[in-house]
A and B are shown apart, each in its own frame.
Chain A
């Protein structure tokens, strides 16, 4: 064995090349003819009480998913009670109908199913995933969870303690802190400006009365959608919707109007100094567009070119070319009343400001010249390919359809999305970048060990404000705890 090993080492490349000498062509073969993606057509119906029901039939595996979503999320958290809708969404499964929290968990898990709940921006949802035979029993539990949650005081207190402990852990992650700080810089006190889960201070303040009121105000059939995908017929889905939700009455009071989002704060650079951080999180972002904005698709493509995958520009420059990160990405959050663009990466502490500068430069480059066709085409393929893969699953279908129903977009965009994306022109991407992604207009947040990058910070971000981690207050507009040193 040893002799064999030494021989291989001595031959080095020679050995490898010999092994490959036969048969291997120097260039890849050409692709074959593309095949069409066939998507099933969703069926829809609105019940007399206003509940919109959508069904996609996917025969095959004995599985189905059902998502119940209300069209209100963390943006309706009462002032001073950030995190309330998120807390309410968790409490839906902590006791409902005749069942205690434990009985509800036992009941759904005995069926081999799950009901996952959560609050996002513009939507709060409860999703049932279950094998087809026991689906009706699962829907009964879903019905109780969304219509008749107990919201017991003891459960509120238990969840508060759990959430505070979870925040104790996540507030030590540079990425989580930086993200929460950036949202506050971009949106101020307006909707979308706070962490969905709340802050340690706000979670401590939320009252049971606020949660009960949130449920009474927003959980109503005319503010909700129900989407099915999987092994069921449209007729069965509509019948189940009628059986479990048809007798649900709307309150007489109208739904309160939403608050508009802030137009976007002025550009600022904030350093959160975390003396024990093992790495720095770097975020560059700014307010962008709402979901229904006419330039949403160019925005989506612009984001994909910048940070929508391994080969996108941010990762190519920061990871592939320079080895400064394990991954650089960006996202375009586009909601009912506003949205934002965020580029993010984690890097060694010493490289924090360098990575932020590289990100801003890439934003400017996208506005400076149109994306060449041989780059735009592969990046839009990344987008349509991911979409096609998501639609291999029932959960993928209910996510895409619930999103459209919640944002009141035509369901036909399910079929049209790939072609619509491919129709986006390079000029539209460039225009979007010029209007919404100028580097100088962005806010920058670096959460990490400031000592390791202070010198480069002074060269590149002279206006940076350094806030020690212990003085950070995510509720304050300037992110500083009252009374802390400036």
Chain B
């Protein structure tokens, strides 16, 4: 298997699935080797669904979900998790908002109660709303303003989409966060936080019949609202010619360059091949871009490549921070040459096998914990649209070939589908490049 001959066999994640009458999808995978249980609730709403003029709202709302319900005080989730040796957190992505907990298994019923409670009804007062909004503004300052390349990262996303709401940064802007009201919170919960727009995943030490009974008791009574969940319908037009742009920033110590391409959606048949491409280009110290740009030519301080495939479409992003004393033009030329070379001809099988082996090891590591298994199962069910892919992708991944990779990237890495964006230190404003 090491050189691509024998596939590694991984025990399948034996999971159960049912859909309640109110539309809630439930996935469960018992694992009695751990004393813990992981609970995930995925809502099919993300920052692309931010209301008009409320950039950052889906994420702000995620914070508000911890601020009290009709039955509970703010921070009840922490009482039910941290206080008993568990943990909870949540994150907002472009397409989904995810709430998750890990607790000692004998606390499972309490968490099901609490997740059902906040799905059914939030009740947040003005003080808690405003105080949490301040926290989110600090999160913005920390991740965007205080980070040397924070604003550059936000601008890459903004400039990469013309029409699609994917252009809005998940964290939002201070002005639009300030504009949000409690009324917006109520409307958003009513619109998107409903059982037929949610998926519950439970992995860990529990008895399936017991879990079913608890789910029936706590989630089944939540009614399904009438009418469909609104969906984003905007379609990003294909790019027709290369675009170039540039911004200057106060705290960027070394110039940076981003190159982005529009790509396929997460459910595309090419998704696994693009994951392998990501690994081959920038996955480790033997990856192409690290070897050429950082190691051999010492043109770059760092190089990253991410094939970020989302529900509606994908964005492939290269990000390079220059090594000291290098010219932006020189680094751009070298990066674009590597991308062209990668798309022009298939790689050797050994290079592809290396990437496959690394990805397989990563997925095995994910399966060490009930948290990792729950996340993988939810990702397959909600984002990929087929829960069985939590297992079948492991086999398919091991059969991705060099030809598959080249076929997938050839139509994406074209000149007309390219955006080149330079993020430069403010001190370069006066001087010629």
B-binding residues in A (CB < 8 A): 1, 4-5, 8-9, 12-13, 15-17, 19-20, 22-38, 60-63, 93, 101-102, 105-106, 109-114, 129-131, 133-134, 137, 158, 161-162, 164-166, 168-169, 171-175, 276-279, 281, 309-311, 319-326, 346-348, 377-378, 381-382, 384-386, 388-389, 392-394
Contact = CB atoms under 8 A, between A and B. Distances in A.
A20 B84 contact: no
A171 B301 CA distance: 14
Given A102-B291, A346-B138, A393-B368, A323 B131 contact: yes
B226 interface: yes
Most buried by B among A20, A25, A158: A20
Most buried by A among B86, B189, B225, B285: B285
In order of increasing CB-CB distance, the 10 nearest A-B pairs are A278-B145, A385-B85, A112-B357, A23-B221, A323-B134, A378-B83, A20-B120, A279-B146, A105-B286, A165-B301
A25 B109 CA distance: 12
Contacts of A12: 183, 186
Given A62-B364, A278-B150, A319-B138, 5 more contacts: A24-B71, A34-B104, A169-B254, A326-B138, A326-B139
Given A34-B106, A102-B295, A133-B1, A348 B361 contact: no
A24 B146 contact: no
Contact of B251 (A1, A60, A276): A276
Contacts of A110: 2-3, 286, 350, 353-354, 357
A109 B3 CA distance: 11
Given A35-B105, A111-B2, A382-B85, A311 B75 contact: yes
Given A8-B191, A32-B109, A169 B104 contact: no
Interface stretch (B33-41, B306-314, B335-343, B383-391): B33-41
A162 B294 contact: yes
A416 B433 CA distance: 62
Interface string B169-209: 00000000000000100110111000000000000010000
A35 B191 contact: no
A381 B106 CA distance: 14
Given A102-B295, A309-B82, A169 B253 contact: yes
A385 B131 contact: no
Nearest to B195: A19
B358 interface: yes
B244 interface: no
A378 B81 CA distance: 9
Contacts of A61: 10, 364, 367-368
Interface in B287-318: 291, 294-295, 298, 301-302
B403 interface: no
Contact of A326 (B86, B142, B356, B369): B142
B187 A5 contact: yes
B412 interface: no
Contacts of A165: 254, 301, 321, 323-324
B284 A109 contact: yes
A33 B218 contact: no
Contacts of B74: 320
Given A106-B354, A276-B250, A346-B142, A8 B187 contact: yes
B107 A19 contact: no
A27 B114 CA distance: 9
A310 B141 contact: no
Nearest to B133: A323
A101 B295 contact: yes
A133 B82 CA distance: 38
B155 interface: no
Given A19-B121, A279-B146, A381-B85, A24 B221 contact: yes
Given A130-B361, A309-B82, A319-B135, A27 B121 contact: no
Given A111-B357, A381-B84, A278 B141 contact: yes
B259 interface: no
9 contacts: A23-B221, A25-B113, A110-B286, A133-B8, A161-B298, A175-B146, A323-B131, A378-B79, A385-B85
Contacts of B230: 1
B82 A16 contact: no
